[in-house]
Amino acid sequence: MRTVGSGRYELEAEIAKGAIGTVWRGRDTATGLRVAVKQLRPEAATQPELVEAFLAEWRILADLDHPCVVRARELVRGGDTYALVLDLVNGQDLRRRLRTDGPLPPAVAADVAAQVADALAYLHGLGIVHGDVKPGNILVPVDGGPVRLTDFGVAQRVGPGLPGSRATHATPEYVAPEVITGQPPRPATDVYALGIVLYELLCGRSPYRGGGVSEVLWRHATCVPVRPAGLPEPLWRAILDCLAPDPDERPAPAALATRLRGLHAALDGLAPLPALGPDMVTWWPRSAEQPAPVVAPRREEWVTAETPRGTGSDLPVPMGPAVRSVPVPVSPAPAWPAPALPAPAQPAGPVPGFRQRSRLVAALLGAAALVVVLAALGAIALLGSPGASGGSGHPVAVTSTQPSGPPSEPPSGPPSSSTTPTSGPDTTGAVTGNQPPARPASPPAKPGYDPSPTPGTIGVIGPGR
């Protein structure tokens, strides 16, 4: 059996593997206790910057002692071996929990977020920014104990006298706008991420998920989440406060925790919201924001289902293959304006009858286009005969001016002031001669629409400073 620490820690089973490290379920032979061992992979141990980041994570963890933060026991060094010995949490991370059970009841989601806020208040009081708050880094013990915040691979110390360094890695779905523009992470950066997490706990998915990394970052910078029907007003206000574009306007973690716990009586008994599907609107350009209608959720009892024996992740630092993790360099992004889109009548998600209305609108637009085409052809018949003035004899093209939604990829730089595409002539809805309009290869993107049934690209889980 493999061991580390001069044979003290036996590595019993691999429970997760990432690009730079492996997490093992181990046993401390001196005490008989089960532990988690996060070991730097041999190829990563030869790269000084990765080793330094690993040691920096240990230096931060060594000073921490809080019930909602995973505890580090020891750093093991020897030759090319670098390993962190951590408490083993018997349970699942919230990401896997959401995939298995769906959205949490509002009261449970608020309680979980309050516990994470407690952990953040503790960290920020020590001048530490976590930098990667997300469901995959929040562990839920099966024994009902406090949730644990884990994975301090990108955490850093901030405060007076400390040089602020910009983030080099981030998870796109949870990164704050100020980090996207190149500013150093700050305590309010963690609060923003917690606001995204709270939305996901209630709805089953984050609001800006879907598409490429640049698209997700663009939404953080220029869009707002859409309130799903049934999401309680007090929780919605808390989410919006956490997602305030100005970091100074976001609540402090301690105040947020108190606020969320104060909602327990009002939220107790509310049933979970239905999970948001990939065709539901979850974001909208900030300039087109409108209030979303609210449907009162029903009340019913909810019982936490215990994780079956042997199926818990036991994952102190989730780095498993289920997470498609890639390093995402965060660089200053251009200030893209919100795309010119028609304001929605009801930008709420889920949107009842969304597909039916889309088909009705398409039918009406098609009928209007047909009328225009027939009118144009009639004009040709009247004016285009031999000897008549004004007849050109060229095919007539009728181009629809109906916007097709946001681009599938955000612009790589500030857009031109002209609304005419620079890549070529606009042939949307063109009808030439007697030929029918060409069918698009794929439907146009819709605001807040995630065309992918799988989660968008997730970056990070790796040291970066």
Answer whether 44's CB lies under 8 Å from 21's CB: yes
Q: 65 an active-site residue?
A: no
Residue 338 token pair: 């919100």
Query: Quick one: pLDDT at residue 18?
Result: 78
Q: Where in the chain is the domain with CATH 3.30.200.20?
A: 3-87
Contacts (Cβ under 8 Å, ≥6 apart) of 201: 94, 98, 103, 104, 109, 112, 113, 135
Query: Quick one: pLDDT at residue 84?
Result: 96
The active-site residue, picked from 28, 93, 111, 132, is 132
138-141 sheet: strands from edge to edge: 91-93, 138-141, 148-149
Q: Where in the chain is the domain with CATH 1.10.510.10?
A: 92-299+312-341
Residues 239-291 pLDDT 10s: 999 999 999 999 999 999 999 999 999 999 999 999 998 889 999 998 755 44
DSSP string for 391-410: ---PPPB--------S-SS-
HSE of 320, CA atoms in CB hemisphere, 13 A: 16
- Please identify every stretch of the chain with a pLDDT value under 50, giving residue numbers as ranges: 290-358, 360-361, 364-365, 367-368, 370-465
Query: Quick one: pLDDT at residue 74?
Result: 95
Residues 96-135 pLDDT 10s: 999 999 999 999 999 999 999 999 999 999 999 999 999 9
Task: Compute CA distances 59 → 18, 73, 84, 401, whole Å.
Answer: 21, 12, 11, 59
Residue 373 token pair: 């085409």
Helix or strand run (H / E) with residue 91: strand 91-93
Q: Is the Cα torsion angle 364, 367, 373, 378 positive or negative in sign?
A: negative
Domain 92-299+312-341 has CATH 1.10.510.10: yes
Query: Quick one: pLDDT at residue 167?
Result: 65
Q: Assign residue 6 a region: left if phi > 0, alpha if psi is -120 to 50, beta otherwise? A: left
What is d(CA 211, CA 453) in angstroms, rounded to the nearest whole number? 11
Nearest of 100, 91, 282 to residue 196 by alpha carbon: 282
Q: Is the pTM of this model over 0.85?
A: no
- Peptide bond before residue 350 is cis, with ω within 30 degrees of 0: yes
CATH number of 3-87: 3.30.200.20
Query: Quick one: pLDDT at residue 160?
Result: 76
Which residue type sits at 114?
A
What is d(CA 391, CA 385) in angstroms, rounded to the nearest whole number? 7
Answer whether 174's CB lies under 8 Å from 94's CB: no
Answer whether 142's CB lies under 8 Å from 90's CB: yes
What is d(CA 138, CA 115) in angstroms, rounded to the nearest whole number? 10
Q: What angle do CA 37, 323, 91 make, to 5 degrees?
A: 50
